Amino acid sequence: MAEMRRGRPCGVTYSSRSERLPRLCCCSFQYSKKLSVMGDAKMIKVGVVGYGTIGKRVADAVRKQSDMQLIGVTGNSYSFRMDAAHEKNISIFATEEGKAALEKNGVPVAGTFEQLLDHVDIIVDCTPKKVGKEHKEKYYLPRKLKAVFQGGEKPSIAQVSFTAQCNYNDAINKDYVRVVSCNTTGLNRTLDAVHRAFGVSAVHATMIRRGADPWDIRHGPMNAIVPVLEMPSHHGPDVMTVLKDVPVFTTAVSVSTSLMHVHNIIADLKTEATVQDVLHLFQKTTRVRIVTNDAWIRSTAEIMEYARDLGRDRGDMPEICIWKEGIGIVGHKLFYMQAIHQESNVIPENIDAIRAMMGFTDAKKSIEMTNKSFGMR
Ligand code: NAD
């Protein structure tokens, strides 16, 4: 990327991209007013493209960071999500496809998609799979604009596949980073900890996947268990884009639930460990939470209720939840069961990816800052 500059808050180093850009010839008064909000040079200016399950959460998370400023999100169609963004004073930049519907439904439009791109240091692209690739080629590469992509895109879209606690450093100053999928993020967080502590020679894991997200009335099995008929499922190879020396073989089935995924994991350890050792390890691993039968957390439904009781935004549980009573050791084989809140666990990763790509070199500090903003450890 272009010239880099030092001296930002918290040691952030980031591209001075916005200073190189021509000022907008404002197409509307409404948009020219927005320009004054865009002027805080101390902040990393972030745009979110795609305002669905992941994008709306990333946008809210960006707004909570003391070193970031959400410049706006894209509106690609009209829905209650756009009304909610407007009510939250989030600037909406219309795609060509979305402009007419947004205007027809009275959603104020701050500018065009391309104008959003011209006023940010970095984009987080949260569009459905394959759209990110099109955007990269058509918009981000010609502008030399940094972009974070999501797990639906192929690994080749980015220089690095990313899970903060595993390989933050690999993303420092990179232009294109892919936050791996929710399942892969869940596997990476816990397997990385186990591998560092005991060494892992092989992993066999089964993903029991939610059929659709809670709001989604279009997808999902309603009265079926649907096996993924490929061996391995894509998750194992995806884990190995981050944990390169851990051989992981996965299978997957989709089931009639929308709340969370569950993983049943068997890891062959290189050194001896007890259940207590593993429990202690997970208790101190960031973004992992031990849940217990004793506390009446016997299901994904109770985990979600717990998240609501904690007062989490949208009732989210970004931590990977491991059942204490589900940890077992037989010889060198470690068994454990974990639940993944697919809507939220990748959101902190997007925040850390932004910092790393903008040149913030302290992984531990970034993870701490992000965790604090989510109320987790
Ligand atoms: P979604 O369908 O909920 O949201 C996608 C959004 O992108 C929608 O608001 C849609 O209007 C918008 N969009 C579509 N085409 C666009 C375009 N050309 N320009 C701008 N916006 C456009 O999808 P999602 O579940 O948030 O998934 C987004 C990405 O995150 C995918 O790569 C997915 O694999 C990944 N991901 C999803 C989950 C999950 O459980 N939902 C978890 C982890 C990662």
Residue 160 is inside which H or E element, if any?
Answer: strand 160-162
Co-location of 230 and 104 in the same domain: no
Lowest-confidence pick of 22-26, 111-115, 199-203? 22-26
* Predicted confidence (pLDDT) at residue 22 exceeds the cutoff of 90: no
Q: Contact at 8 Å (CB) between 126 and 248?
A: no
* Predicted confidence (pLDDT) at residue 10 exceeds the cutoff of 90: no
Q: What is the pLDDT of residue 358?
A: 98
Residue 156 burial (10 A CB sphere; 0-12, 13-18, 19+): exposed
Co-location of 168 and 249 in the same domain: no
Q: How far apart are CA 99 and CA 75, in angstroms?
A: 8
Number of structural domains (the chain) is 2
Residue nearest to atom 22 of ligand 1 (CA): 50
Domain that holds residue 134: 4-180+346-374
Q: CA nearest 269: which of 211, 201, 186? A: 201
Co-location of 57 and 102 in the same domain: yes
Quick one: which atom of ligand 1 is closest to the CA of 127? 7
Question: From the CA of 79, how far away is ligand 1's center (Å)?
Answer: 14
Q: Over range 47-74, report the average pLDDT.
A: 98
Question: From the CA of 254, how far away is ligand 1's center (Å)?
Answer: 19
Q: How far apart are CA 132 and CA 148, in angstroms?
A: 9
Lowest-confidence pick of 30-44, 67-81, 214-228? 30-44
Co-location of 140 and 19 in the same domain: yes
Residue of 54, 93, 177 best suited for mutating to test ligand 1, as the one with most atoms within 8 Å of CB: 54
Co-location of 115 and 187 in the same domain: no
Q: What is the pLDDT of residue 40?
A: 66
Tell me phi and psi for residue 121, to 5 degrees. Answer: -85, -25
Query: Which CATH number belongs to the domain containing residue 160 in this structure?
Result: 3.40.50.720
Tell me phi and psi for residue 147, to 5 degrees. Answer: -150, 140
Q: Over range 324-344, report the average pLDDT.
A: 98
Question: From the CA of 153, how far away is ligand 1's center (Å)?
Answer: 11
Co-location of 174 and 273 in the same domain: no
Co-location of 21 and 65 in the same domain: yes
Residues ≥6 apart with Cβ < 8 Å to 201 = 247, 268, 269, 270
Lowest-confidence pick of 135-139, 177-181, 215-219, 286-290? 215-219
Asked about 26 being catalytic, the answer comes back as: no
Query: Which CATH number belongs to the domain containing residue 200 in this structure?
Result: 3.30.360.10
Q: CA nearest 114: which of 72, 156, 84? A: 72
Q: CA nearest 250: which of 93, 190, 240, 242? A: 240
Q: What is the pLDDT of residue 301?
A: 98
Peptide bond into 232 cis (omega under 30): yes
Residue 138 burial (10 A CB sphere; 0-12, 13-18, 19+): exposed
Question: From the CA of 298, how far away is ligand 1's center (Å)?
Answer: 30
Place of tokens 């397997």: 191
Q: How far apart are CA 197 and CA 285, in angstroms?
A: 11
Banded pLDDT at 222 (limits 50, 70, 90):
confident
Question: From the CA of 129, how far away is ligand 1's center (Å)?
Answer: 7
Banded pLDDT at 181 (limits 50, 70, 90):
very high
* Predicted confidence (pLDDT) at residue 4 exceeds the cutoff of 80: no
Residue 370 burial (10 A CB sphere; 0-12, 13-18, 19+): buried
* Confidence (pTM): 0.91
| pLDDT > 70 fraction of the chain, expressed in percent and rounded | 89
Residue nearest to atom 18 of ligand 1 (CA): 131
| pLDDT > 90 fraction of the chain, expressed in percent and rounded | 87
Average pLDDT, the chain: 91
Pocket residues for ligand 1 (CB within 6 Å)?
Answer: 49-55, 74, 76-77, 95, 126-129, 131, 150-153, 181-182, 213, 342-343, 346
Residue nearest to atom 15 of ligand 1 (CA): 127
Token reading at 315: 């009732």
Co-location of 204 and 175 in the same domain: no
Quick one: which atom of ligand 1 is closest to the CA of 185? 43
Q: Which residues of 281-318 are buried (b: 16+ CB within 10 A; e: fewer)?
A: bbeebbbbbbbeeeeebebbebbbebbeeeebeebbbb
Q: CA nearest 114: which of 90, 93, 91, 86? A: 93
Residue of 51, 53, 139 best suited for mutating to test ligand 1, as the one with most atoms within 8 Å of CB: 53
Banded pLDDT at 13 (limits 50, 70, 90):
very low
Quick one: which atom of ligand 1 is closest to the CA of 179? 44
Co-location of 244 and 294 in the same domain: yes
Express each pLDDT in 149-167 by its tens digit.
999 999 999 999 999 999 9
Co-location of 192 and 171 in the same domain: no
Express each pLDDT in 256-295 by its tens digit.
999 999 999 999 999 999 999 999 999 999 999 999 999 9
Q: Over range 51-75, report the average pLDDT.
A: 98
Express each pLDDT in 305-321 by its tens digit.
999 999 999 999 999 99
Residue nearest to atom 10 of ligand 1 (CA): 50
* Predicted confidence (pLDDT) at residue 6 exceeds the cutoff of 60: no
Co-location of 80 and 170 in the same domain: yes
Map residue 39 onto helix, strand or coil: coil
How many other C-beta atoms can be found within 10 angstroms of the C-beta atom of residue 271? 10
Catalytic residue among 126, 166, 182, 321: 182
Q: How far apart are CA 275 and CA 322, in angstroms?
A: 13
Residue 328 is inside which H or E element, if any?
Answer: strand 328-330
Question: From the CA of 271, how far away is ligand 1's center (Å)?
Answer: 41
Co-location of 242 and 138 in the same domain: no
6: left (phi over 0), alpha (psi -120 to 50) or beta: beta
Quick one: which atom of ligand 1 is closest to the CA of 134? 18
Banded pLDDT at 33 (limits 50, 70, 90):
very low
Q: What is the pLDDT of residue 344?
A: 98
Residue nearest to atom 37 of ligand 1 (CA): 54
> How much helix, strand and coil, in percent to the nearest 5, is found in the chain?
35, 25, 40
Q: How far apart are CA 298 and CA 371, in angstroms?
A: 26
